[in-house]
Amino acid sequence: MSSTARVPVAHTEPGASPGRFVCARRRASERRRIRRADALAANVPVRLYGVRRGTVILLTLCSVLFALFILAPLVWIMVNATKTQPNVYESFGFWFARPFVLFHNLSMLFENVSGAGIYVQWLGNTVLYAVLGGVGATVLSALAGYGFARYRFLGSKALFYFVLSALLVPITAVALPLYLVYAKVGLINSMWGMVLPCMVSPVGVYLMRTFIDASVPQELIDAARIDGAGELGTFLRVAVPIMVPGLVTVLLLSVVAVWNNYFLPLIIFTHNSAYPLTVGLASLSQGAETGSKGQLVPVLIAGGLVTVIPIIVLFVFLQRYFRGGLLQGSTTG
């Protein structure tokens, strides 16, 4: 694996390169110009393929259809979060219907579910787990990635293979074993039972190692050492500033992974005050469908909407980092 792991990140998509990160605040017009120049440099002009105009229209139409397929459920959830329960079933699914009760549904969601504002608690739990788990995963991955990329100590190769082997262990095969261990050591319903396993991200280590190999020059580290910097000082003051784009990528991927995780919290939490949003929503949906709580369906839909929005916002604003991370996983496979 070691030789493929060293494929440089240099041939990335234009616009995702670490260099571009520095100029994030460039003016929009200039960015557009650069993008156009990049596109010209990277691509053979379309007309050279001899593609007919009809083909372009047909392919664009295919993309439109698939985009509708992708967007329809999201439109549905936005529209139906504003409806009353009968309207969710009776009215046309992709358009609004009177009365418009979005704010009523939201206030029901935040105040009245189970009578004790438990959705707010779930939201808080999710943010807490995602932030702690994501930051922890990023810090540990950065340290370990740096250790594997820039040091050759006894057994470093074997240990790296050990980490890679962890990539092959399916998460569903670990969740139940974790529960069994937690039951022995009293970590059921503990926040740490959720956060600590989320900090273990073999993918993060692999991404960080690849990133450091490609973008933190050994010479720079040597220079810092000559100047008398300690090992940790070299890491913090020389390597980390260069690693920022990679760190953001790993942070985002880990935060999303924790935010969307369902199986692990489902197994290790038995009190609903410890639930994250995903497990909470699943328990709500059981209640909504069996009808034990009247009028709960639109509240549930609003709950789904509130769960999705933070991550979509995060993703739309920071999508270059998502792409960067996906890329490194792929070209170096």
Partner 1 sequence: MSPNEIAIPRLQRSGGFRTWVPSGPAPARRRRDRREGNGRWFVLPFLVLLTLFMFVPVCYAIYTSLFTSKLIGGTSFSGLANYGQVFASSEFWSGVRRVLLFAAIQVPLTIGIAAFFAAIFDLGVAKFGRFFRVVFFVPFAVPAVVAAMMWSFLLLPQFGPYTRLAGAVGLQRTDFFSPNLILPTLIVIVIWEWAGYNMTILYTALKSVPREVVEAAVIDGASFWKVVMRVKLPMVSPAIVMLFFLNTIGALQLFTEPSILSSFQPQAISFGFTPTLFVYNTSIGSLEYNLGAAAAVVLGLVIGALSVGSLLWRRRRGEFA
Q: Where in 84-123 is the site for partner 1 (CB under 8 A)?
A: 88-90, 92-94
Asked if 28 touches partner 1 (CB under 8 A), the answer is no
Q: Does 73 bind partner 1 (CB under 8 A)?
A: yes
CA-angle at 90, arms to 106 and 284, nearest 5°: 40
Least CB distance to partner 1 at residue 137 (A): 9
User: At residue 321, what is the residue type?
Assistant: Y
Q: Residues touching partner 1: how many (CB under 8 A)?
A: 121
DSSP character string of 105-139: HHHIIIIIGGGTTHHHHHHHHHHHHHHHHHHHHHH
Q: Which of 21, 76, 96, 110 binds partner 1 (CB under 8 A)?
A: 76
- Among residues 23, 120, 223, 236, the one that binds partner 1 under rule CB under 8 A: 223
Q: Is 158 in the site for partner 1 (CB under 8 A)?
A: no
Q: Pick the binder of partner 1 from 25, 115, 158, 219 (CB under 8 A).
A: 219
Among 3, 29, 186, 317, binds partner 1 (CB under 8 A): 3
- Which positions from 241 through 280 interact with partner 1, judged by CB under 8 A? 256, 259-260, 262-263, 266-267, 277-279
- Among 24, 28, 29, 70, the residue binding partner 1 under the rule CB under 8 A is 70
Of the candidate spans 23-31, 98-106, 110-118, 219-227, the one that interacts with partner 1 by CB under 8 A turns out to be 219-227
317 interacts with partner 1 by CB under 8 A: no
Binds partner 1 (CB under 8 A): choice among 29, 54, 115, 153: 153
Q: Quote the CA–CA distance of 271 and 282 in Å, as a whole number.
A: 14
Instruction: Decide if residue 12 touches partner 1 (CB under 8 A).
Output: yes
121-150 binders of partner 1 (CB under 8 A): 140-141, 143-144, 146-148, 150
Q: Which ranges in the chain belong to alpha helices (H)?
A: 18-22, 28-42, 53-80, 85-90, 102-107, 118-150, 156-167, 171-185, 191-199, 202-215, 218-226, 231-234, 240-260, 263-268, 277-290, 296-317, 319-331
Only segment of 22-30, 54-62, 97-105, 107-115 that touches partner 1 (CB under 8 A): 54-62
Rg over CA atoms, the chain? 24
> Under the criterion CB under 8 A, does residue 37 sit at the interface with partner 1?
no
Alpha carbons 120 and 139: distance in angstroms, whole number? 28
Q: Decide if residue 304 touches partner 1 (CB under 8 A).
A: yes
Of 179-198, binders to partner 1 (CB under 8 A) are: 179-181, 184, 196-197
Distance CA 62, CA 50 (A): 20
Check residue 65 for interaction with partner 1 (CB under 8 A).
Answer: no
| Angle, CA of 181, 250 and 245, to the nearest 5° | 160
Determine how many CB atoms are found less than 10 A away from the CB of residue 108.
18
Dist CA 125 CA 133 (whole Å): 12
Q: How far is residue 30 CA from its own chain's centroid? A: 29
